[in-house]
Amino acid sequence: MNESSHHSEPALLKRLAAGDVDAFQAIYDKYWNHVYGVALRLTKSPEQSRDLSQDIFLKLWTNREKAATIENVEKYLFTVSRNLVYDFLRREVFIESNRRFLQEYHGYEPPSPQDLAEIKSRHEMLEAAIQSLPPKQREVFRLHWIEGLTHEAVAQKLGISRVSSKTYIVRALAYLRERFSGTGKIF
């Protein structure tokens, strides 16, 4: 097996399904930040996010025999992450003794109608600015920033290099920052 196929996702997943700890470690190292980020975004608790992320990878390891059937590791881990975090949040919300958690999680003032109108206006301005990007920049921007694909995934999907993906993002962000500079809005 050559070096590149040795580290490709399908090869890693087959090795993981066979119980290869090194393959599991490679997947863990590659996706830890992504899984932790999803958990943190949903729980807003670094400690709980670490615990849930470990549970997610534990679930991957305990169900490793099914790993060879996974087509997209990132999507699989995102789905498992989201489901485990939602399960955690449901448990926390419905446990009466967890008032402190509920107060912290929901301890904010709901946005006023004026805030909502401002948010909507900013969203519309941003959407119009994104639409004014050149087509390739717009496509790369949407895939990377809105859909959350990595530069490698964007490059592979669009048949461009990873460097080109990064270059399009840098140019798009520069354009958007310039467009909104001085307005105090969006960027």
For the chain, give every domain's residue range: 3-105, 113-180
* Contact assessment for residue 117 and residue 148, using Cβ atoms and an 8 Å cutoff: no
pLDDT number for residue 39:
82
pLDDT number for residue 38:
81
Local confidence band at 6 (pLDDT 50, 70, 90 cut-offs): very low
Is pLDDT larger for residue 31 or for residue 108?
31
Residue 77 pLDDT > 80: yes
| CATH number of the 113-180 domain | 1.10.10.10
pLDDT number for residue 44:
79
Considering only 46-50, 105-109, 136-140, which range has the smallest mean pLDDT?
Answer: 105-109
Considering only 37-46, 92-101, 152-161, which range has the smallest mean pLDDT?
Answer: 92-101
Residue 147 pLDDT > 80: yes
Print burial letters for 52-70: b (CB count within 10 Å at least 16), e (below 16): bbebbbeebeeebeebeeb
| CATH number of the 3-105 domain | 1.10.1740.10
Both tokens of 155, joined, read 């490059």
- Highest averaged pLDDT of the listed ranges 11-15, 112-116, 137-141: 137-141
Is pLDDT larger for residue 18 or for residue 109?
18
C-alpha distances out from residue 156 to 9, 56, 169, Å? 14, 27, 15
pLDDT number for residue 96:
53
- Give the amino acid at 26: A
Average pLDDT over residues 88-99: 65
pLDDT number for residue 159:
95
